[in-house]
Amino acid sequence: MKPHIRLATIEDMPRVLELIKALAEFEKEPHEAELILEDLERDGFGAQPKFVCFVAEVDNKVEGIALVYGRYSTWKGETLHLEDLIVSEERRGLGIGSLLLDEVVKYGHSLKVKRISWEVLDWNEPAIQFYENKGAKVMRDWDVVQLNEKGIETYLSKL
């Protein structure tokens, strides 16, 4: 059956969470996926949603997601951040990732954003090839910088 791309509903969030946890396993960091179902439901479907999620449905089962949210660039203005594009392992190679990325780009265009950005692990060569083949620029000279919760607390304790 052909994948159907649509906006996620709150009812999709249990499966979305499963795919997020599967991605954490794939990325060798299962302990980092701390998000719980209630977080997704509250943050995606409350009075002021913090993200938009597209799902790819095959045979009435969600087999892929693309989760995005708005950002602001001091150089470009409004941008869109693709937090994760996930396709279930058993459905990879069937074009689902392309369909989800297509939807993200159409959505960003409809918002008139100046850029869509995301990260990819440097060892994930299939994903890098996929993005480059789509025309994305993988900026290998930039590093991702983060403060986790403990890092935030440590930082603040030194002020």
Question: What does each of the 159 residues of the chain score in pLDDT, given as a tens digit?
Answer: 789 999 999 999 999 999 999 999 999 999 999 999 999 999 999 999 999 999 999 999 999 999 999 999 999 999 999 999 999 999 998 999 999 999 999 999 999 999 999 999 999 999 999 999 999 999 999 988 999 999 999 999 999
Q: Is 123 helix (H, G, I), strand (E, B) or coil?
A: coil
Nearest to 56 by CA among 8, 21, 90: 8
Q: Enter the pTM of the model.
A: 0.93
Q: What is the pLDDT of residue 119?
A: 95
Yes or no: say if 99 and 56 are a contact pair by the CB < 8 Å rule. yes
Sheet holding 61-73: strands in order across? 4-7, 52-58, 61-73, 77-87, 115-117
Q: Check if 69 is active-site.
A: no
Q: Is 124 helix (H, G, I), strand (E, B) or coil?
A: coil
Q: What is the pLDDT of residue 143?
A: 86
Active-site residue, from 69, 72, 107, 131: 131
